[in-house]
Amino acid sequence: MLREQNIRLGLIGCGGIVQKSHLQGLLAIPDLVTISAIADPIPENRNRVGTAADIISEQRYEDHRHMLARAELDAVIIATPHHLHAEHVIEAAQAGVAIISEKPMATSLEEADQLLDAVKKHNVPYAIVHNFLYTPGTAEALRLLRRENTGIPQTGRALSLFGKTEDQADPNNVWRASKAAGGGCIGDSAYHEIYLIETMIGSPVRYVEARVQTKFFDFDVDDVAFLLFEHENGAISTVSTSWGMPGSGDHNICEVYTRTHGIRIVGRGRELRYLDKADRRWQPVDLDHGLDNDALSRAGHANYFAATFKALAEGKPPPITAEHARHNLSLIHAAHQATTQRRAIDVTEL
């Protein structure tokens, strides 16, 4: 158990995801958490986040190791480039603080297991940010799927199609476009669709077939990924993502179909639609946005952080655990392996 009230939080990384999403979510739950210190090697990031969160200059660190050594903290959020996640989690575990890490937990399963060994050795709580499970649309979709008359999902599909410009795909300026930094569309964009569709289907993925390739940009990471899943209960689903395919209409959806109904999440939770096959028309569903009253920009972060910090304060496991994180990473690893070997990969063997 941490503190009953007002967990003292440090931020490792103060870049775009923190400035655009994390910060608003954290500031929306002042009864649960207070940002006490921040760390980022880029002065502009420290200044923006430090000013917004009212952090005194002495608690704005250039080096996260100094923050871990000097600041009085109960927990940290790690929001650095993908290839640094494992290293930073291990260092935070050694400092004895609870850890919430941005996705993915690591860039390889080997890194993930080293990270988990450190978390276990130092007996610290560890959670991963699967924020799109906490959007109003996802919450209501899962409630509808639990209704007796809705039925069991048989098929589903998720897609996230984006049209990045050459500047947005320049590895010299954007770390997500660099293999060395753990970039690529499947680990960055499709990561969310993978856990969303699996949660909607309600059964773990057992087999993965996929093609993960580079088709649109001159860099060393993937910019298109097509995945086919077979779930343990026999359901099948697909995930499609790309950085070179500008979407038309609903280009970011996750939907499942039972024998009698369909449920479609739009914009990773901004909207929800419900289909009764007897009626054959999609109907919009009213949503309660709760903490995420600006669902488009916050994307479930406030609700995710509220649930996670409440669990930590009560000494309970976080809602998204290391097991969830490693499983999602294993599906990404299986997709790469399926591409190379041109065959279905049994995830239980990874």
Instruction: Express each pLDDT in 218-274 by its tens digit.
Output: 999 999 999 999 999 999 999 999 999 986 556 789 999 999 999 999 988 889 999
Percentage of residues of the chain with pLDDT beyond 90? 89
Question: Phi, psi (5° rounding) for residue 269?
Answer: 125, 0
Give kind and range of the element (H or E) at residue 260. none
Cβ(86)–Cβ(106) below 8 Å: yes
Determine how many CB atoms are found less than 10 A away from the CB of residue 6.
16
What stretches of 96-135 show up as alpha helix (H) in DSSP? 109-122
The shares of helix, strand and coil residues in the chain, as percent rounded to the nearest 5, are 40, 25, 35
pLDDT digits (tens, 9 = 90+) for 64-78: 999 999 999 999 999
Compute how many other C-beta atoms are within 10 angstroms of the C-beta atom of residue 218: 10
Is the CB of residue 173 less than 8 Å from the CB of residue 181? Answer: no
- 126: enclosing H helix or E strand: strand 126-128
Cα separation, 137 vs 265, in Å, equals 6
% of the chain surpassing 70 pLDDT? 95
Amino acid of residue 196: L
pLDDT computed for residue 293 by the predictor: 55
Strands 271-276 and 261-266: antiparallel
Residue 300 backbone class (left: φ over 0; alpha: ψ -120 to 50; beta: rest): left
303 Cβ neighbours under 8 A, 6+ residues apart: 25, 134, 135, 139, 290, 291, 292
Kindly report the backbone phi and psi dihedral angles of residue 291, in degrees, each rounded to the nearest multiple of 5, phi listed first.
Answer: -65, -35
Q: What pLDDT score was predicted for residue 3?
A: 52
pLDDT digits (tens, 9 = 90+) for 148-202: 889 999 999 999 999 999 999 999 999 999 999 999 999 999 999 999 999 999 9
Give the number of residues written for the chain: 350
Of 67, 53, 75, which Cα lies nearest the Cα of 7? 75
The pLDDT score that the predictor gives to residue 39 is 98
Distance in angstroms (rounded) separating the CA atoms of residues 123 and 120: 5
41 prior amide bond cis, ω within 30: no
Domains contained in the chain, CATH given: 7-128+303-319 (3.40.50.720), 133-288+329-349 (3.30.360.10)
